[in-house]
Amino acid sequence: MCGITAHVAESDSLRSLLTCLQNLEYRGYDSAGLALLNGSEVRVTKSAGEVESLKQRVTNGDLEGEIGIGHTRWSTHGPPTDENAHPHTDCTGKIAIVHNGIIENHDQLRESLQARGHTFTSDTDTEVVPHMIEELLGQCESTAAAFRSAVDKLEGSYAVAMVVEGDHRVYASRSGSPLVLGLGEDSQYLASDVPAFLEFTNQVIYLQDGDVVVLSPDGYRITDLDGRPLERTVETMSWSPEDAQKRGHDHFMSKEIHEQPTAIRQAIEGRIDGDDVTLEEFPPGSFADVEAVQFVACGTSYHAGLYCEQLLGEWGVPVSTHFASEYAVSSPPVDGNTLVVGVTQSGETADTLEALRVASEQGARTLAVTNVVGSSAARKCDDALFIRAGPEIGVAATKTFSSQVTTLTLLGERLARDVTGSPTEGHESRLSALQSLPEQVESVLAASDAEQLAHRYRDSRSHFFIGRGPSFGVAREGALKFKEITYEHAEGFPAGELKHGPLALVTADTTVFAVCSGREESKLVSNVREVQTRDGPVVAVAPRSASSLLEVADDTLTVPATHPDLVPVLANVQLQLLSYHSAVALGRSVDKPRNLAKSVTVE
């Protein structure tokens, strides 16, 4: 959830560290801080608030150094205050630590350290680490050994980085939280995610659980917790530095909404050959032994799973979708013929990784559908399929949803052919429509009325999103996007469930968005009239061919007619624009909504 970074160079690291922290703010923006080795002294500066507040504190030139660490925080232990901001130090102030994750045994460690005379100045779990290393430095043969010994005692998830007075190195390790090493021509970087340092280098090493890395001015060394050397593959990222910039948009969310045509093209590139699906990772027969499919995911990824559950069910594949956070504590039966698909943009979502671990231990085959090649999910699952969306910075996921649905649809076609023994009904027209989807998204972006409707309904007290079939997943996603960035009440329901409870909440101040693929038009018209009878205004989000629904609705957001299985993707673009323009009209923090972070790497 938090973002950590480090830089080792032959010149001053302050500017690079501040850039990395600003690039990581999507992971947390409650507070930020830096620790630099200024000569042989560790200098720490930190501040509650966003990185800009920290930047203002260090612009007077009294903080400099060639080696440093930084942190931008999403609060878990302790409120967002100057005291709780990272880095944290030991009693002497000579050791500074930044940390992402949750140290589950910090209470016991703190009590033990306090009993031995250590004084703590924050409420965080992180502060136990520098105090542990303070003791271990006097017991171990080297700083590296003391660092390894300390992290080996931590329970829970962590990515930590450390600097020590008089030692011109950065020490770091990870377990359950992401940490990436970036290799520049004359410097090294560490960060929670690649976009942090993408403008400086595209040569990366994805560190694995239990890895310990030591960065020095002349290079790096990776070992395990026992100090044994390890070799890790250097990968070249295809993402460009411009991918992580706003490119003239006011917000990353706007930029990423408008990048969806490109993201979808990348998702299907080389994967459709005429009327056949050609997944390089999964040739025909790859899933011949699969008897059931389970999607596990959180948030937006869960809604992508719901969407494709409907498609797979119609195609004859036994399928279900589960909240990853619940799967780990109450998992359904699985066996060697069950395929458990973890859908996760980052590949580091803690709940999804735990669900995949549980499924694997019970004998299921696991598959990660993710955006990040070297992510934990991609490494730990039996197989991986990449959505190719490029970096997504805005906390509210947009282009990754479209890419997930596109990729899962292609995966579903392969699954259905292998499981049922025959292609899906109408697969030719569906695959043809999939190839036309980028141009249709472009037409929605060019002609949307979402901004006008955002202003028209900005005073509504509640916002309901309804749909049937795959449109239900989009209704849920539309409601999530709306509540995430507008802070207004929004809920998504199956359209037929309105009369089983939610209708009691409908008034003239309740705007209902009815999402239609074209198949369920007549039933949706009936639901719309139920709302209007209670004075609720209805906005139809539907293809232009759904004339009876469009005629009865109070307002419309139309999309081009295409295969009904894909219309909800276009409808979702309209709902993303609606949420975006509503948040802007209300003066919300679009890219950094309150209480939320991009990658949820703690359970």
Distance of alpha carbon 452 from alpha carbon 456, whole angstroms = 6
Strand partners, 120: none
543 neighbors 519 (Cβ within 8 angstroms): no
First CA to last CA across the chain, in angstroms? 10
Q: Which token pair is 175?
A: 């377990």
Helix boundaries (H) for 61-171: 106-115, 128-136, 143-152
Query: Cα-flanking dihedrals φ and ψ of residue 247, to 5°?
Result: 55, 50
Burial of 421 (0-12, 13-18, 19+ CB in 10 A): exposed
25 neighbors 50 (Cβ within 8 angstroms): yes
Name the amino acid, one letter, at 523: K
What b/e readout covers 510-530, taking b as 16+ CB neighbours within 10 angstroms? bbbbbbbbbbbbeebbebbeb
- Residue 92 is given by DSSP the state T
Q: At what angle do helices 399-420 and 427-447 cross, to 10 degrees?
A: 170
502: three-class secondary structure by DSSP: helix
Q: How many CA atoms lie within 13 A of 462 on its CB side?
A: 15
Query: Cα-flanking dihedrals φ and ψ of residue 436, to 5°?
Result: -90, -5
Q: How many CA atoms lie within 13 A of 184 on its CB side?
A: 20
Residues noted as catalytic: 2, 598
Strand partners, 32: 47, 72
Distance of alpha carbon 202 from alpha carbon 209, whole angstroms = 22
Cis amide prior to 87 (ω within 30 degrees): yes
Distance of alpha carbon 90 from alpha carbon 135, whole angstroms = 10
Distance of alpha carbon 170 from alpha carbon 395, whole angstroms = 29
Cβ atoms within 10 Å of 535's Cβ, excluding its own: 11
Beta strands 538-543 and 510-515, pairing class: parallel
Helix, strand, coil percentages in the chain from 3-state DSSP, rounded to 5: 35, 25, 40
Q: At what angle do helices 470-486 and 299-314 cross, to 10 degrees?
A: 170
Q: Which token pair is 49?
A: 């608030």
Distance of alpha carbon 207 from alpha carbon 232, whole angstroms = 8
Q: Whose structure tokens read 């990449």?
A: 386
Q: Give one word for 399, left, alpha or beta, with left for phi > 0 and alpha for psi -120 to 50.
A: alpha
315: three-class secondary structure by DSSP: coil
